[in-house]
Each structure stands twice: as C-alpha cells, then as structure tokens.
C-alpha cells in the first residue's frame, strides 16, 4: 500500500460542529482537499455528510474516513454502528474505517473488534481499514490477527513537539501509511521561535513549516481549521521543501508534549 493511497493532506473535523463544520468542509473541498476525516464520537458525521452532499465535488473523488467508537466494539453492535455512520454521512461506503482507540484493558478482545472491522470491509461498507492510537505492541497484535497488508494506517498524534518516531517507524516498517493528527499541536506551533524563524526564511507561517515537516517524513496529516484563509494556507504547505538542516532543527523541538492522552489511553511507546 503506497503513501499515495491516502490523499495528502486530509482535512480534520475534530471539535467542529453544526454550521461551522459544514462551512469548513465545504471550503476545504472547494479549495482542493479530497480527504475528509471524521469519527462517530465527533458528533458531526451528519454535518460532514451534508457538506459533502452540498459540494459539487463528486463523492467518488473524495476519500472519506470515519472511526468506530469503543462503545460499539462488540460483535452485536459494530456493524449497526457503521451502518448508522453511513446513513449520517449520506453514503453507501467510506473509503477508510478505523477503530478509534484500542479497547481499554482489552475489555473487548482485539480479535473480536478487528474481526468486525474486517467484516465491514468484506461487506463493502468500507474500502480500507485501519487503526488509531495503537502502540507498537498493539499493532503487532493486530497484524497477527488480520495478517500483513490488511491495515492501511495507524492514525496517531504527530507534531514537532511529539514526533512519535518509534510508532511512526514501526508502522512504516510493517507497510502501513502513518496518518498524523493534531499536526499543529492545537495551535501551539504558532508561538514556537524555531518554527517562526524557519518560516520567515521561506515567507511561511510557523503552521506551514510544521505541516511541511510532517509531509517530508512521508506522513499523511489532517490539519483542521474553521477559517477559509487558514485552510488555504495549510494546503500550500505541501509544496514546500525544507532543507536537511531545517528538518533537523525542527526534530530538536521534540519534548514529549502529548495532547491526546485520555485516561483510557494505552501505555504509550
């Protein structure tokens, strides 16, 4: 599976609701994004679906991702939850279906919910399947359950303050594309002097530098914004080429600053 399977960049919709997300997704599609990322727990699938329906961009030209929430991992609930997502999204299929987090303390056995994930793919409800927030050991377990070359991605937090290198490299070594979420560290990159200085040398914003750094590592990323000019600005970052020295300076910003770390999170690598 190639890096090109997942369009770069995607547009993230975490924390966006109602008319805000409808306008943002509409703007993203209008500006050229073709990869939209949502999730059951975001409580915005209906609005994302409406934005896609309202867009002149054909559904088959959009790579649409959603994620199954942990409450629906049991065999009795999984498929119905996916079908409910499809109804909300106004589509017969998604392009990528993820399990959003590993089941806490393995409450639902991984073999059970990954078996359901594969069953959803076999039923045509999704074209590709993947996982999110899996540790290296959990990814190894997942591959042992499903076999190699079945999972497209592990979606994990990646930004200059949390490069997540061990997980990124382990996923790549197993043939997965890595999707990096929160690439702007919820806006924190904008205030970083190193990113600002590199940006000034290229007439870029610190946010654009951060996105270029993620991109040059072969990681697909899904920045989010509610402002059209930021959505457009983010898109331009993927035409930027940073030097090896600049990449190394950004690498030096790593400080283990993890933003997505709920109490049910796994023991991170």
Q: All domains of the chain, ordered by start, with CATH?
A: 3-251 (3.20.20.100)
- In this predicted model, what pLDDT tens digit does every residue of 204-249 receive, in sequence order? 999 999 999 999 999 999 999 999 999 999 999 999 999 999 999 9
pLDDT score of 3: 47
pLDDT digits (tens, 9 = 90+) for 21-36: 999 999 999 999 999 9
Q: CA-CA distance, 98 to 117, in Å (whole number)?
A: 8
Residue range 121-140: mean pLDDT, rounded: 98
In contact, 3 and 177? CB cutoff 8 Å = yes
DSSP letter at 95 equals E
Asked if residues 213 and 242 have their Cβ atoms less than 8 Å apart, the reply is: yes
Q: pLDDT digit string (tens) for 255-265? A: 999 999 999 99
Q: Give the pLDDT band of residue 4 (cuts 50, 70, 90).
A: low
Q: What is the mean pLDDT of residues 196-211?
A: 97
Q: Does the annotation flag 128 for ligand binding?
A: no
| Number of Cβ within a 10 Å radius of residue 221 | 30
φ/ψ of residue 261, rounded to 5: -145, 65
Cβ-based neighbours of 26, under 8 Å, separated by 6 or more: 51, 54, 55
Check whether 157 has a pLDDT greater than 50: yes
pLDDT at 192 over 60: yes
Q: Is the pTM of this model over 0.95?
A: yes
Residue environment code for 34-48, b if the CB has 16+ CB neighbours within 10 A, otherwise e = bbbbbbbebebbbbb
Q: Residue 5: its pLDDT value, please?
A: 85
Q: Which residues are catalytic?
A: 42
Six-digit token pair at 97?
A: 């279906």
């Amino acid at each position: 599976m190639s890096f090109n399977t997942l369009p770069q960049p995607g547009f993230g919709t975490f924390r966006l609701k109602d008319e805000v997300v409808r306008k943002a997704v509409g703007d993203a599609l209008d500006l050229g994004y073709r990869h939209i990322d949502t999730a059951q727990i975001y409580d915005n699938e209906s609005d994302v679906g409406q934005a896609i329906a309202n867009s002149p961009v054909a559904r088959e030209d959009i790579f649409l991702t959603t994620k199954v929430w942990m409450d629906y991992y049991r065999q009795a609930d999984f498929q119905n939850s996916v079908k409910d997502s499809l109804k909300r999204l106004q589509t017969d299929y998604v392009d990528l279906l993820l399990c959003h987090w590993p089941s806490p303390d393995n409450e639902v056995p991984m073999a059970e919910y990954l078996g359901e994930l594969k069953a959803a793919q076999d039923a045509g409800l999704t074209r590709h399947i993947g996982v999110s927030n899996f540790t290296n050991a959990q990814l190894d377990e997942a591959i042992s359950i499903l076999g190699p070359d079945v999972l497209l991605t592990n979606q994990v937090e990646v930004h200059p303050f949390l490069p997540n290198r061990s997980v990124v490299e382990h996923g790549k070594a197993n043939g997965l594309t890595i999707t990096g979420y929160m690439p702007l560290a919820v806006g924190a990159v904008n205030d970083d002097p190193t990113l600002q200085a590199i940006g000034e040398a290229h007439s870029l914003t610190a946010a654009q530098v951060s996105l270029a750094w993620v991109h040059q590592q072969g990681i697909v990323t899904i920045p989010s914004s509610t402002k059209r000019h930021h959505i457009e600005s983010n898109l331009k970052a993927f035409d930027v080429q940073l030097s090896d020295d600049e990449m190394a300076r950004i690498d030096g910003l790593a400080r283990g600053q993890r933003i997505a770390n709920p109490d049910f999170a796994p023991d991170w690598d």
